[in-house]
Structure 1
Amino acid sequence: MNQHHGTKHLTFGQRCGRTLKHLRSTPAAARKAFPEATLKAIETAIADGETVHNAEIRLIVEAALTPGMAYSGISNRQRARELFAQYGVWDTEDNCGVLIYINLASHQVDIVADRNVGRRVSPEEWQAVCRTMTTGFASGNFHDSTLRALQQLNTLLQSHFPSTGPRSNQLPNEAILL
């Protein structure tokens, strides 16, 4: 989870700079960072993980916030929570949904977990997963660092929510590019 809790108190200049940064990050940049082969590998990693644990994972990559959201100061965490609700990650049978939200313009990753998962996994464990991604992303390695983070997350979830046998898939495994 990202430790940036909000950006509401930015100056006018900071707001304008943040907005420009998000305007420069395009959907094409997101597709370059997460091409079809990477998206398929992510889908496979999520599906494979869900055979060893009872949690449900969604991964959303957003190239940038809208200019209005960027200027208004919405934080990465706030946006992740909004998408957690919008995509129904909270709506799993055992309250065990996990959203990984990547904002490319902000260079930030947040994880939002439903209450059952949130009670058992420590903030330090979430931070370690996020760091795996952000460290790799800093060097332009989106594919391998995302897959390493998913492996790390799957192992973590398996330790807290081991599989109890075959079950229905409650959330799609495909990554979402916004």
Structure 2
Amino acid sequence: MVGPARLLRHLFARPARSLFPADSLHRIAAMIRASESRHRGEIVFALESDMPLREVWMNVSPRDRALHAFAHLHVWNTAANNGVLIYLQLADRRIEIVADRGFDGLVSAEQWRGICQLMEERLSAGEPEAAVAEGIEAITQLLEAHFPQRPGEVDEDELPDEPVILR
């Protein structure tokens, strides 16, 4: 059973644009573009302020919502299976990273969780854009190590760089 505190957080969640106004979203898109010029991976940033109350009542986790967003946004649909979703859920104050199967055996769940925790700390400190920037940079380093640019090869931008507001 879901607790009343979680229901209230979702019912009265701050709109995503209050933490990430348009200029902030444009800077994040630029960070993603700059990151993707350094490797062959794809990064998608998605956020939602709250979940539908029906899902909160059913105790759907932020991880489950992130997995749904990963599929819905087609982050899995890259030639090298190297898409990464950064999912920020404001009401539950959670960040989840979902990486495609190309990362299997390369990056551990603990490494992904560590990046989430770094971002959550910056978010808790009231620095939402800096939290996302830190996460993008940490993921960029992993992508550079495992999916580096190849000399003479053109890397197609397979997924949009603009952040996605889900709710």
**TM-score band (shorter)?**
over 0.9
Question: What letter matches 1:19 in structure 2?
Answer: L
Cα deviation, 1:8-44, whole Å, max 9, x if unaligned, reads: xx35xx1x332221011042xx112111121111111
Equivalent residue in structure 1 for 2:84, among 98, 110, 114: 98
Conserved 8 A contact 1:51-1:166: no
Residue 144 of structure 1 corresponds to 130
When residues 64 and 113 of structure 1 are mapped into structure 2, their CA distance, relative to the original with a 3 A threshold, is same
Question: What letter matches 1:48 in structure 2?
Answer: A
User: Structure 1 residue 25 and structure 2 residue 25: aligned?
Assistant: no
Equivalent residue in structure 1 for 2:73, among 74, 87, 106: 87
1:56: Cα distance to partner?
0.7
1:23-102 matches, within 5 Å, as: 23-27=11-15, 30-102=16-88
- Stretches of structure 2 that go unaligned for 5 or more consecutive residues are none
Alignment partners' CA distance in 2, 1:168 and 1:135: 33
- Stretches of structure 1 that go unaligned for 5 or more consecutive residues are 1-9
| Greater CA drift, 148-157 or 106-115 | 148-157
Conserved 8 A contact 1:52-1:158: yes
- TM superposition score normalised by structure 2: 0.93
Alignment partners' CA distance in 2, 1:81 and 1:148: 22
Residue 6 of structure 1 corresponds to none
Residue 162 of structure 1 corresponds to 148
1:58: Cα distance to partner?
0.5
Task: Count how many residue pairs are aligned between Structure 1 and Structure 2.
Answer: 164
1:143: Cα distance to partner?
1.2
- TM superposition score normalised by structure 1: 0.87
Structural RMSD (CA): 1.3
Alignment partners' CA distance in 1, 2:11 and 2:18: 17
Alignment partners' CA distance in 1, 2:98 and 2:109: 11
Residue 96 of structure 2 corresponds to 110
1:1-20 matches, within 5 Å, as: 10=1, 14=3, 16-20=4-8
1:163: Cα distance to partner?
1.1
Residue 3 of structure 1 corresponds to none
Question: Which consecutive segments of 4 or more residues in structure 1 shift more than 6 A?
Answer: none
Residue 162 of structure 2 corresponds to 174
Equivalent residue in structure 2 for 1:127, among 113, 117, 121: 113
